[in-house]
Amino acid sequence: METINNYINGSLTEPVSKQYLQNIEPATGQVYSLCPDSDEHDVQLAYEAAKSAFDGWSKTPLEERMLMLMHIADGIEKRMDEFVAAESKDNGKPLKLARAVDIPRAVSNFRFYASAIQHFASESHQMPGVGINYTLRQAIGVVGCISPWNLPLYLFSWKIAPALATGNCVVAKPSEITPYTAYLLSKVCIEAGLPKGVLNIVHGLGGKVGQAIVEHEGIKAISFTGGTETGKRIAATAAPMFKKLSLELGGKNPTLVFADCDLDETVKQVVTASFSNQGEICLCGSRIFVQKSIYEKFRDAFVARVKTLKVGDPNNADTNLGAIVSEQHKNKVLSYIQLAKEEGGKILCGGSDLGQTELNDRCKNGYFVLPTVIEGLHFQCRTQQEEIFGPVVTLTPFENEEDALTMANSVRYGLSAAIWTNDLKRAHRVAEKIEAGIVWINSWLVRDLRTPFGGVKASGVGREGGWEAMRFFTEPKNVFIKS
């Protein structure tokens, strides 16, 4: 069985405690590797390595830093098959999804920020006859990056790449539920010749390793992606320490389908937006609001399409939905389906896990939930208000635009929204009024890495992406010179 190790000061090292956690393949329910059960001692070692590396790395010429990030991207690409297999095995997602989305995106994240650092510039403000102000954008120092299990390497690299590009040194923690591709990334960094201590990856539990990173006096900024409750705890610890914080948190995203949309295309795309990655993408649209005049037509076409989705072995080429990431998370998703029934919801399809008999031998102990569509629930009930983060969506009719906005904005979250309409004016109007950090019109999950990424309300604080991340990972200092 493979043993994963931490990456500290340029080497793969066992945790100080010498304790390991079992890493389970969700598609089979079997332990297949061991993940370090690190603690604050490992975080301290990682911090010391990062601190020693900071002076050298922050002064490294931009072109050299750019080349190093490019080497890392090339290293991931060279091991594409290995990364793809590991991501699918660790998370349960279909192999083809890891190949089409997760790993190529991790490569792009490194390339994007490698290039960005060469174009990043700071401002100057002239005061005629008085002098000139110029703004330095300096690396912060040692920063912490903490990421979740749903898009493991994709989100991990989305933080690490801009942090390194801007000259910071990093102590990073992937989710202990999906640690494997972060481990492979350590190997790539060693092969690429990343100077020791520049990036340190400490594996282990959130309550131990994550908390130790957040509490560490010397770690000056925290970039976190994960659940809203965890984000709240992190903010409670880090804010009184005056750390810079970027929090990308949960969502309960609305999809608004207006009567004037292209129905066939909308149905197709909304199915994708609902169930990609088993519904375990923070941007999935889990509350679908449909204008009354087309409600039945949309519902019937939508449910018919959902019924064609194949759930099963992530290794099979025709699988649309793989396994739920863990048994615990599967049980959480199922408990929400039960709650929906108690709240008066009607299950239109799915509604349960996949019976052992329907799974192949390899997967019979895996964690699979059928894509589930529910109707008949009030928009303010718990099922429609709380994040489920699985293959479960609700369908709710609305009368008019005002109605749709009231329902869409009724949750505490505000991450993303999708609007389906052919009325351009309506699209603009609704996009402006909807409480979300990201709005897609007649599309979903189209990503340009230059755009600001993040949510409002309980979906987070701050933005990632493009210059936003470069600004987050640098400290502006204004310098005035008298003329």
Closest residue by Cα to residue 172 from 156, 185, 161:
156
Closest residue by Cα to residue 110 from 211, 30, 189:
189
Task: Tell which one of 69, 142, 177, 436 touches ligand NDP (CB under 6 A).
Answer: 177
Q: Which is nearer to ligand NDP, 230 or 266 (CB)?
A: 230
- For residues 239 to 278, the per-residue mask of contacts with ligand NDP, x marking binding by CB under 6 A and - elsewhere, is ---------xxxx---------------------------
Give me the least distance between CB of 267 and ligand NDP, in Å please: 25
Residue 458 interacts with ligand NDP (CB under 6 A)?
no
Q: Which is nearer to ligand NDP, 68 or 449 (CB)?
A: 449
| 3-state SS, residue 190 | helix
Residue with tokens 């793969």: 12
Question: Phi and psi for 146 in degrees, rounded to 5?
Answer: -125, 130
Distance between CA atoms of residues 386 and 392, nearest Å: 12
CA angle 133, 136, 139 (to 5 degrees): 165
Catalytic hit among 25, 87, 176, 248: 248
Q: Which is nearer to ligand NDP, 215 or 401 (CB)?
A: 215
| 3-state SS, residue 12 | strand
Residue 389 interacts with ligand NDP (CB under 6 A)?
yes
Distance between CA atoms of residues 227 and 233, nearest Å: 10
**248 assigned to active site:** yes
CA dihedral 273, 278, 284, 288 (to 10 degrees): 70
Task: Tell which one of 148, 197, 371, 465 touches ligand NDP (CB under 6 A).
Answer: 148
| 3-state SS, residue 18 | coil
* Cβ neighbours, 10 Å, residue 218: 12
Residue 167 interacts with ligand NDP (CB under 6 A)?
no
Task: Tell which one of 322, 345, 414, 455 touches ligand NDP (CB under 6 A).
Answer: 455
Give me the least distance between CB of 437 and ligand NDP, in Å please: 8
Q: Which is nearer to ligand NDP, 194 or 458 (CB)?
A: 458
Task: Give the torsion sign (CA, 402, 408, 413, 418).
Answer: negative
Question: Total binding residues for ligand NDP by CB under 6 A?
Answer: 33
Candidate segments 61-69, 305-313, 378-386, 452-460, binder of ligand NDP by CB under 6 A: 452-460
Residue 210 interacts with ligand NDP (CB under 6 A)?
yes
Task: Tell which one of 25, 39, 387, 468 touches ligand NDP (CB under 6 A).
Answer: 387
Give me the least distance between CB of 211 and ligand NDP, in Å please: 4
**48 assigned to active site:** no
Q: Who contacts 148 (Cβ-Cβ below 8 Å, separation ≥6)?
A: 155, 175, 225, 226, 227
Task: Tell which one of 13, 28, 200, 211 touches ligand NDP (CB under 6 A).
Answer: 211
Distance between CA atoms of residues 423 and 292, nearest Å: 17
Mode of pairing for the β-strands spanning 169-173 and 199-201: parallel
* Cβ neighbours, 10 Å, residue 427: 18
Give me the least distance between CB of 261 and ligand NDP, in Å please: 26
Task: Give the footprint of ligand NDP on residues 460-479 (CB under 6 A).
Answer: 460
- For residues 337 to 366, the per-residue mask of contacts with ligand NDP, x marking binding by CB under 6 A and - elsewhere, is ------------------------------
Residue 149 interacts with ligand NDP (CB under 6 A)?
yes
Q: Is residue 366 a contact partner of residue 359, using CB atoms and an 8 Å limit?
A: yes
Task: Tell which one of 12, 190, 205, 431 touches ligand NDP (CB under 6 A).
Answer: 205
Residue 282 interacts with ligand NDP (CB under 6 A)?
yes
Alpha-helical segments (H) within 125-179: 152-165
Give me the least distance between CB of 226 and ligand NDP, in Å please: 3
Task: Tell which one of 157, 225, 320, 383 touches ligand NDP (CB under 6 A).
Answer: 225
Q: Which is nearer to ligand NDP, 173 or 220 (CB)?
A: 173
DSSP string, 331-396: HHHHHHHHHHHHTT-EEEE--SB--GGGS-GGGTTS--B--EEEES--TTSHHHHS---SSEEEEE
Residue 6 interacts with ligand NDP (CB under 6 A)?
no
Candidate segments 102-110, 125-133, 172-180, 396-404, binder of ligand NDP by CB under 6 A: 172-180
Distance between CA atoms of residues 471 and 234, nearest Å: 21
First-last CA distance in the chain: 68
Q: What is the contact surface with ligand NDP in residues (CB under 6 A)?
A: 146-150, 155, 173, 175-177, 205-207, 210-211, 214, 225-227, 230, 233-234, 248-251, 282, 387, 389, 415, 455, 459-460
Residues catalogued as catalytic: 248, 282
